[in-house]
Amino acid sequence: MLKGERALEVETEYGKPPPITMGSVEDREVAFIPRHGVKHETPPHRVNYRAEILGLKSLGVEKVIATNAVGAINQKYAPGDIVIPVDVVDFTKTRHATLYDNDPVTHVDVTEPYCPSLRKILIEASQGRKERVWTDSIMVCTEGPRFETPAEIRMFRLLGCDIVGMTGAPEVFLAKEAGMCYASICFVSNMAAGIQTRVSQKEVEEVASKLISTISAILSQSISRLSDTEPCTCKTSCTTGA
């Protein structure tokens, strides 16, 4: 998607993220970071989410659009559907989940974990396509790299979750702490464990290859609609105090 691309390497207080590619989309400057590394070599539980978010911020990024492959827990959904989640449940276990480990004690308001203005743009850009689009979905993020068990999926369904993935958290919370707008566009790559017979990485990749052009079109249209005046509270979500 990027024109005039160039790769940059940056350092952060939490280490070095993968190279960030700078370029333009619809005449807007865009930074792309491969979450799992250039060769997709880093599993979800080992991604340095703090370095990646702060690496983007160090380059002046203010708005983040994430892409996620997810499994469907809600049986109304189907592989190939597009999902713009509105809320998230964090079931990760070992990840560094905050930028605020030290004094002063800092709390972040995640009443709206995903930027409503950025979500609105993604939703509008997703309309009118052949793929079904779900916009009131709740994502649950699990630790990985294994897929979930059928019992876990039944539990998540009881909790009201619609989709499951391995990279939605703590990414969304770190972006909020960094004062950045963040939203995600997901595609359903498979039905979750217990709904279909088996879950495989090959299936995920096959569905992804079919949706590349759709996701790229939605991203391009969304980027073209971005402005600096969209109202949101993402920059002022953190408060300090005992």
- Give the pLDDT confidence of 37-85 residue by residue, as tens digits: 999 999 999 999 999 999 999 999 999 999 999 999 999 999 999 999 9
Q: Is residue 41 part of a domain?
A: no
Q: Which domain holds residue 110?
A: 63-240
Q: Look at residue 218 and tell me if it is in a domain.
A: yes
127 inside domain: yes
Q: Domain of 188: which CATH number? A: 3.40.50.1580
The predicted-structure confidence for 90-147, as pLDDT tens digits, reads as follows 999 999 999 999 998 999 999 999 999 999 999 999 999 999 999 999 999 999 999 9
- Is 233 domain-assigned? yes
In a domain, 49, yes or no: no
Position 31 in a domain? no
User: Cβ–Cβ contacts within 10 Å for residue 180, how many?
Assistant: 20
Domain-located, residue 129: yes
| CB 111 within 8 Å of CB 200 | no
- Total domains, the chain: 1
Q: Band of the pLDDT at 240, cuts 50, 70, 90?
A: low
* Range with the poorest average pLDDT among 9-18, 97-106, 151-160, 233-242: 233-242
CB under 8 Å to 115, separation ≥6 — which residues?
A: 63, 181, 182, 183, 232, 234
163: helix, coil or strand? strand
Residue 12 within any structural domain of the chain: no
